[in-house]
Amino acid sequence: MKLLITGGCGFIGSNFIYYILDKYPNYKIINLDALTYAGNLENLKKIENNPRHEFIKGDIGDKKLANKLVKDIDIIVHFAAESHVDRSILNSSDFIKTNINGTHILLEAAKDNGRKRFHHISTDEVFGSLEPNEPAFSESTSYDPHSPYSASKASSDHLVRAYFHTYNLPITISNCSNNYGPYQFPEKLMPLFITNLMEGKKVPIYGDGKNIRDWLYVEDHCQAIDKIIHNGKIGETYCVGGNSEKTNLEITHEILKIMGKKEDEIEYINDRLGHDKRYAIDFSKIKRELGWQPKISFKEGIEKTVEWYKNNQSWWKDIKSGEYKNYYKKQYGK
C-alpha cells in the first residue's frame, strides 16, 4: 500500500506517519508538505533515512504536482490545513487558499487519476457551539461554523462529499475533537501553557476560562484514522472524540499541578472573538461500526504530553525563538 499524506510534517500528520510506518512494515508513504509555519521537518527526524518515507516539499494547491503524485498512490490521507482559529481571525486568506482551494485541487487529482481513495481529516468546530446541557455533536449534527477557520473546514467537508455524490469518488471524512500530544505547535493551548511555564512566563486564559472542549490524545486519533481508511464505509463520516470534556481552566489547573506551579501563574486576557462555548463528540458510530474507542485516559495523556515537552526543549525553543515569537507578541502583547 502506498499512501499520500498531505501535511505530514505537522502535528497530527507526523504522528500518523510514525504510527503507519511502525504498524505496517510493507507500507510506503509520500509526504507532501509546504513547510509553512507549523510544518516542521524536525518532527520526522527519526525517519529521515527511512526508505519507506519520501518527503516532497510542495503545495497542495500545485495542480501539476498533485496530479503527478496522486497518479502513483493508493490512498490520500488529507491532513494539510491552516488550523488555528486566532490566525484565521487575524487574516483568513490563507485558510481559504489552503483549506478550500487546496482540497479542491486534491479532489480533482483524485478524480482524474483513477478515482483514488480519499480520506479527509476535519474538525468538530464545523458544528458550531454547544450549550452545557445539549447533546454532543454527531454525524447528523447540522453545520454551523463560527470562525473563518471552521467555515473553511466546513466548506472543504462539503466539497469532499460532493465529489462522492457527483463523481463516485471513494471518500470518507472524520471530524475530531481537540488533539494533544507530542509535536504540537506551541500556539495551541496545552503546548503553549506547558512551554510558557517552563520559561517562567504566565499562561494566558481567554475570558473566564469556562469554555469546554473534548480532548483526544493524538495516538488514539491515529488509530481511529487507521480504522477508517481500512474498514470505513465509503461515503460516510465518522466523529472521533476523546470522552474527555474539560474547561480551559480545568486543563490549566491540571498542567499547573503536574508541573508544580501555583494558580498565580494564570493571566486572564480578553476573550477571543466569537469564542465557542463548548465542543463535545459522540463517537458511538465509529465504536459500533469499527470497534474504535480512545484507549488513553486524559490523566495519562496529559502527563505524557508534559513529559514530552520537558524532554524535547530544543524542539519547541527553536520554534518559539523564531517566527512564532513575533506572532505570540502580536497576539498576547508580550
Q: Can you list the domains of the chain with their CATH numbers? A: 2-180+216-240 (3.40.50.720)
> Which residues, in sequence order, are bridge partners of residue 180?
217
Q: Catalytic site residue 324?
A: no
- Report pLDDT digits (tens) over 189-218: 999 999 999 999 999 999 999 999 999 999
If you average pLDDT over residues 130-140, what whole number do you get? 95
247: left (phi over 0), alpha (psi -120 to 50) or beta: beta
The alpha carbons of the chain give a radius of gyration, in whole angstroms, of: 19
Q: What is the pLDDT of residues 69-125, one digit of tens each?
A: 999 999 999 999 987 787 888 889 999 999 999 999 999 999 999 999 999 999 999
Q: Find out whether 29 and 54 touch, Cβ atoms under 8 Å.
A: yes
Using the predicted structure, report yes or no on whether residue 168 has a pLDDT greater than 50.
yes
Q: Which entry of 33, 59, 82, 125 is annotated as an active-site residue?
A: 125
pLDDT of residue 333: 45
Higher pLDDT, 187 or 26: 26
Confidence bin at 334 (pLDDT 50/70/90): very low
Q: How confident is the model at residue 328, as a pLDDT?
A: 44
Q: Which of 59, 82, 149, 180 is catalytic?
A: 149
Residues 331, 334: Cα–Cα separation, whole Å = 8
| 271 secondary structure, DSSP code | P
Active-site choice (33, 59, 82, 124): 124
- Are 205 and 248 a contacting pair, CB within 8 Å? yes
Mean predicted lDDT score pLDDT of the chain = 94
Q: What percent of the chain has pLDDT over 90?
A: 86
- Per-residue pLDDT band for 327 (boundaries 50, 70, 90) equals very low
**Catalytic annotation on 125?**
yes
Active site residue 124: yes
pLDDT surpassing 50 at residue 135: yes
Query: pLDDT tier at 323 (50, 70, 90 boundaries)?
Result: low
Q: What value does the mean pLDDT take over residues 290-311?
A: 98
Q: How far apart are the first and last CA of the chain?
A: 48
Quick check: 331 pLDDT over 60? Answer: no
How would you list the strands of the sheet with 212-217, edge to edge?
178-180, 212-217, 245-247
Residue 245 has pLDDT above 50, yes or no: yes
